[in-house]
A and B are shown apart, each in its own frame.
Chain A
Amino acid sequence: MDAIKFVQEQMVTTKPLPSFRPGDTINVNYKIIEGDKFRIQSYKGDVIQISGEGLGKTFTVRKISNGVGVERIFPMVSPNIDTIEVIKRGRVRRAKLFYLRGLVGKKARIKELKTAKA
């Protein structure tokens, strides 16, 4: 068991990703490899879950594309993630926001987190 933990600690190449939580709106710039070239595709949406740990840690981003809900799961330590921008912090009361799947339109919005200003 600790051998696996050791390997995971060794293989995580820590890239400075910004910290984000479920409920945040983020923009993921993901490398798409085509042959020997790559281009960067951006994917913007709400983080609805973060699960796993170590090398298996993933996050799910949900967005509404042409009226259809789309969810995409990204591995947290994937070398194909170029950058992540946090656009908005959301105020939510759950770690997993699966209830958003059943909501449409204005109800599917997440309130923005208001932090006290100095």
Chain B
Amino acid sequence: MTSVYDSNGNNIAVTVIEAGPNVVTQVKSSDTDGYNALQLGFSEAKEKNVSKAMKGHFAKANTTPKRKLVEFRDFNATPKVLGDEIIITDIFNEGDKVSAVGISKGKGFQGVVKRHGFGGVGQSTHGQHNRLRAPGSIGASSFPSKVVKGMRMAGRTGGDRKKVKNLLIVKIFAEQNLLLVKGAVPGHKGSVVIIEK
């Protein structure tokens, strides 16, 4: 992430995303597959990390092996054929609102305050000793005599697939395939996100 200035002199926090060029590696149609979709490949893969079966798949599209393949349903840009390259300006314009899908950063085993936004106890006096961030009661006693399913408790946090909606495209560098999106997107630096319009 970095920050840029808009025309009014406001400082905007942006995420720089390298979006493309993406290659069409498979075209699915309702006749053959039951639904319409395009499979796009992004980022070069090492030859030694690609299985023989996948090599054949890429050879069919007449392209080099790709690291990430993602399928987009009902992709309604102009009809694309196998091996076509899709670049940013085919789909996105400056000022568009997009969604970003990615795997959020793993946070490990976390308590309820961080994981579910519980308030904690809120005071350190009145008999509170070492339970400032405790969850409090998790249910009643004789009825229902159990902890109801789905009770929010401590546990593994992060590392889930998350979607962030309504991100504004601040700027596009078409030649460098760069998108500048307002705000943060899920995941580590260098991780792969899916940008949907």
| Interface residue ranges, A against B (CB under 8 Å) | 1, 3-4, 6-8, 10-11, 31, 33, 54-56, 75, 77-80
Contacts and interface: CB of A to CB of B under 8 A. Distances in A.
A13 to B, nearest CB: 8
Contact of A4 (B8, B9, B11, B16): B16
B173 to A, nearest CB: 7
Contacts of B189: 1
Name which of B1, B4, B173 has the most chain A CB atoms within 10 A of its CB: B4
A11 B189 CA distance: 21
B180 interface: yes
B62 interface: no
A56 B2 contact: yes
Contacts of B176: 3, 6
Interface string B1-30: 111110011010010101000000000000
A3 B18 contact: yes
Nearest to B176: A6
20 contacts: A3-B18, A4-B1, A4-B16, A6-B173, A7-B14, A7-B173, A7-B178, A7-B180, A10-B173, A11-B5, A31-B9, A54-B2, A55-B4, A56-B3, A75-B11, A78-B5, A78-B9, A78-B11, A79-B9, A80-B9
Given A75-B11, A78-B11, A7 B2 contact: yes
A78 B12 CA distance: 12
Interface in B49-69: none
Contacts of B1: 4
A4 B1 CA distance: 7
Interface of B: 1-5, 8-9, 11, 14, 16, 18, 173, 176, 178, 180, 189
A33 B2 contact: no
Interface centre among A1, A77, A78, A79 (most CB of B within 10 A): A79
Contact of B9 (A6, A7, A33): A33
Given A3-B16, A3-B176, A3-B178, A8 B9 contact: no
B5 A6 contact: no
A43 to B, nearest CB: 16
A78 B6 CA distance: 10
B16 A7 contact: yes
Given A4-B2, A77-B5, 16 more contacts: A1-B189, A3-B16, A4-B1, A6-B176, A7-B14, A7-B173, A7-B178, A11-B4, A11-B5, A54-B2, A55-B4, A78-B9, A78-B11, A79-B5, A79-B9, A80-B9
